[in-house]
Amino acid sequence: MKNLILIGYMCAGKSTVGKSLGKRLGRQFYDLDWYIEERYRKRISDIFAEKGEDGFRQIEYKMLHEVAEFEDIVLSCGGGTPCFYDNMDYLNRIGTTIFLNASPDTIVEHLKISRTVRPLLQGKSGEELRSYIAGQLQGRMRFYEQAQYIFDVNILDGYDKIDLLITQILETIKDKT
Protein backbone atom coordinates (compact mmCIF):
# COMPACT_ATOMS: atom_id res chain seq x y z
CA MET A 1 0.00 0.00 0.00
CA LYS A 2 1.19 3.48 -0.82
CA ASN A 3 1.52 6.24 1.73
CA LEU A 4 -1.00 9.06 1.45
CA ILE A 5 0.66 12.47 1.52
CA LEU A 6 -1.16 15.74 2.12
CA ILE A 7 0.35 18.98 0.88
CA GLY A 8 -0.83 22.57 0.82
CA TYR A 9 -0.28 25.91 2.46
CA MET A 10 -0.16 26.27 6.24
CA CYS A 11 -3.57 26.15 7.88
CA ALA A 12 -5.21 24.58 4.83
CA GLY A 13 -6.37 21.72 7.05
CA LYS A 14 -3.69 19.10 6.33
CA SER A 15 -3.36 17.91 9.94
CA THR A 16 -7.11 17.89 10.58
CA VAL A 17 -7.86 16.03 7.36
CA GLY A 18 -4.84 13.76 7.80
CA LYS A 19 -5.87 12.64 11.29
CA SER A 20 -9.40 11.85 10.07
CA LEU A 21 -8.10 10.10 6.96
CA GLY A 22 -5.70 7.99 9.03
CA LYS A 23 -8.45 7.06 11.47
CA ARG A 24 -10.85 6.10 8.68
CA LEU A 25 -8.19 3.93 6.99
CA GLY A 26 -6.74 2.49 10.19
CA ARG A 27 -3.35 3.98 9.33
CA GLN A 28 -0.84 5.84 11.47
CA PHE A 29 -0.91 9.62 10.93
CA TYR A 30 2.28 11.69 10.92
CA ASP A 31 2.57 15.46 10.74
CA LEU A 32 6.06 16.24 9.43
CA ASP A 33 6.40 19.39 11.55
CA TRP A 34 5.41 17.50 14.70
CA TYR A 35 7.82 14.71 13.75
CA ILE A 36 10.65 17.23 13.41
CA GLU A 37 9.78 18.78 16.78
CA GLU A 38 9.82 15.35 18.44
CA ARG A 39 13.11 14.29 16.86
CA TYR A 40 14.88 17.59 17.58
CA ARG A 41 13.07 18.28 20.85
CA LYS A 42 12.52 21.88 19.70
CA ARG A 43 9.62 23.81 18.27
CA ILE A 44 9.76 24.67 14.58
CA SER A 45 9.82 28.37 15.49
CA ASP A 46 12.94 27.77 17.64
CA ILE A 47 14.67 25.86 14.84
CA PHE A 48 13.87 28.74 12.47
CA ALA A 49 15.25 31.25 14.99
CA GLU A 50 18.46 29.26 15.52
CA LYS A 51 19.20 28.01 12.01
CA GLY A 52 17.20 30.29 9.69
CA GLU A 53 14.96 29.05 6.94
CA ASP A 54 17.80 27.37 5.01
CA GLY A 55 18.85 25.39 8.09
CA PHE A 56 15.27 24.40 8.79
CA ARG A 57 14.72 23.27 5.19
CA GLN A 58 17.78 21.01 5.39
CA ILE A 59 16.41 19.39 8.55
CA GLU A 60 12.97 19.12 6.97
CA TYR A 61 14.46 17.38 3.91
CA LYS A 62 16.29 14.85 6.09
CA MET A 63 13.24 14.16 8.27
CA LEU A 64 10.95 13.85 5.23
CA HIS A 65 13.17 11.07 3.89
CA GLU A 66 13.19 9.40 7.31
CA VAL A 67 9.43 9.41 7.86
CA ALA A 68 8.73 8.46 4.24
CA GLU A 69 10.39 5.11 4.91
CA PHE A 70 7.42 4.17 7.10
CA GLU A 71 4.76 2.09 5.37
CA ASP A 72 1.02 2.58 5.09
CA ILE A 73 0.93 5.99 6.73
CA VAL A 74 -0.89 9.25 6.18
CA LEU A 75 1.64 12.10 6.14
CA SER A 76 0.91 15.80 6.42
CA CYS A 77 3.78 17.93 5.11
CA GLY A 78 4.67 21.47 6.10
CA GLY A 79 3.41 24.16 3.74
CA GLY A 80 6.85 24.73 2.20
CA THR A 81 8.00 21.11 2.10
CA PRO A 82 7.07 20.44 -1.57
CA CYS A 83 8.79 23.65 -2.70
CA PHE A 84 12.39 22.86 -1.77
CA TYR A 85 15.04 20.54 -3.18
CA ASP A 86 13.44 17.71 -5.16
CA ASN A 87 10.81 17.16 -2.48
CA MET A 88 7.75 17.25 -4.75
CA ASP A 89 9.20 14.70 -7.17
CA TYR A 90 10.18 12.55 -4.20
CA LEU A 91 6.70 12.79 -2.65
CA ASN A 92 5.09 11.73 -5.93
CA ARG A 93 7.42 8.73 -6.14
CA ILE A 94 6.88 7.44 -2.61
CA GLY A 95 3.15 7.94 -2.23
CA THR A 96 -0.18 9.26 -3.40
CA THR A 97 -0.06 13.05 -3.14
CA ILE A 98 -3.12 15.13 -2.33
CA PHE A 99 -3.09 18.93 -2.52
CA LEU A 100 -5.57 20.61 -0.19
CA ASN A 101 -6.22 23.87 -2.02
CA ALA A 102 -7.38 26.79 0.12
CA SER A 103 -7.82 30.45 -0.82
CA PRO A 104 -5.86 33.21 0.95
CA ASP A 105 -9.09 34.28 2.71
CA THR A 106 -9.71 30.75 4.02
CA ILE A 107 -6.11 30.50 5.24
CA VAL A 108 -6.37 33.85 7.06
CA GLU A 109 -9.58 32.65 8.76
CA HIS A 110 -7.92 29.38 9.80
CA LEU A 111 -4.87 31.28 11.10
CA LYS A 112 -7.12 33.35 13.37
CA ILE A 113 -8.15 30.21 15.26
CA SER A 114 -4.78 28.42 15.09
CA ARG A 115 -2.69 28.26 18.25
CA THR A 116 0.54 27.46 16.41
CA VAL A 117 3.32 30.05 16.05
CA ARG A 118 4.07 30.51 12.34
CA PRO A 119 7.61 31.90 11.93
CA LEU A 120 7.04 33.11 8.37
CA LEU A 121 3.97 35.13 9.39
CA GLN A 122 5.14 36.78 12.60
CA GLY A 123 4.70 40.55 12.70
CA LYS A 124 2.13 40.64 9.90
CA SER A 125 -1.49 41.56 10.39
CA GLY A 126 -4.64 42.31 8.41
CA GLU A 127 -4.24 43.03 4.72
CA GLU A 128 -0.45 42.64 4.95
CA LEU A 129 -0.96 39.03 6.06
CA ARG A 130 -3.50 38.27 3.33
CA SER A 131 -1.25 39.84 0.70
CA TYR A 132 1.79 37.89 1.91
CA ILE A 133 -0.16 34.60 1.84
CA ALA A 134 -1.52 35.32 -1.65
CA GLY A 135 2.02 36.03 -2.90
CA GLN A 136 3.44 32.88 -1.34
CA LEU A 137 0.58 30.77 -2.68
CA GLN A 138 1.19 32.13 -6.15
CA GLY A 139 4.88 31.19 -5.91
CA ARG A 140 4.21 27.75 -4.47
CA MET A 141 1.29 26.77 -6.71
CA ARG A 142 3.58 25.31 -9.40
CA PHE A 143 4.76 22.77 -6.82
CA TYR A 144 1.39 22.11 -5.20
CA GLU A 145 -0.28 21.53 -8.56
CA GLN A 146 2.11 18.64 -9.25
CA ALA A 147 0.13 16.59 -6.72
CA GLN A 148 -1.68 13.60 -8.15
CA TYR A 149 -5.00 14.81 -6.70
CA ILE A 150 -6.33 18.28 -5.86
CA PHE A 151 -9.22 19.01 -3.50
CA ASP A 152 -10.80 22.38 -2.72
CA VAL A 153 -10.90 22.85 1.06
CA ASN A 154 -12.53 26.26 1.28
CA ILE A 155 -15.64 24.65 2.77
CA LEU A 156 -14.12 22.91 5.81
CA ASP A 157 -16.08 24.76 8.46
CA GLY A 158 -17.33 21.77 10.43
CA TYR A 159 -16.75 18.10 11.15
CA ASP A 160 -19.55 17.04 8.80
CA LYS A 161 -17.77 18.77 5.89
CA ILE A 162 -14.45 17.21 6.90
CA ASP A 163 -16.13 13.78 6.88
CA LEU A 164 -17.61 14.53 3.46
CA LEU A 165 -14.16 15.54 2.15
CA ILE A 166 -12.61 12.34 3.55
CA THR A 167 -15.29 10.31 1.75
CA GLN A 168 -14.62 12.22 -1.50
CA ILE A 169 -10.86 11.66 -1.18
CA LEU A 170 -11.29 7.95 -0.52
CA GLU A 171 -13.72 7.52 -3.44
CA THR A 172 -11.35 9.39 -5.76
CA ILE A 173 -8.17 7.53 -4.79
CA LYS A 174 -9.66 4.10 -3.99
CA ASP A 175 -7.49 2.34 -6.58
CA LYS A 176 -4.33 4.03 -5.26
CA THR A 177 -4.53 2.98 -1.61
Compute the distance between CA of residue 125 and CA of residue 40 in angstroms, rounded to an integer. Answer: 30
pLDDT in tens, 38-55: 999 999 989 999 999 999
Question: Mutual orientation of helices 126-144 and 104-113 as an angle, nearest 10°?
Answer: 120
DSSP three-state, residue 10: coil
Express each pLDDT in 78-135 by its tens digit. 999 999 999 999 999 999 999 999 999 999 888 877 767 666 677 777 788 899 999 9
Q: Which helix (H) or strand (E) holds 44?
A: helix 44-67
Single pTM value for the model: 0.93
Q: All domains of the chain, ordered by start, with CATH?
A: 3-169 (3.40.50.300)
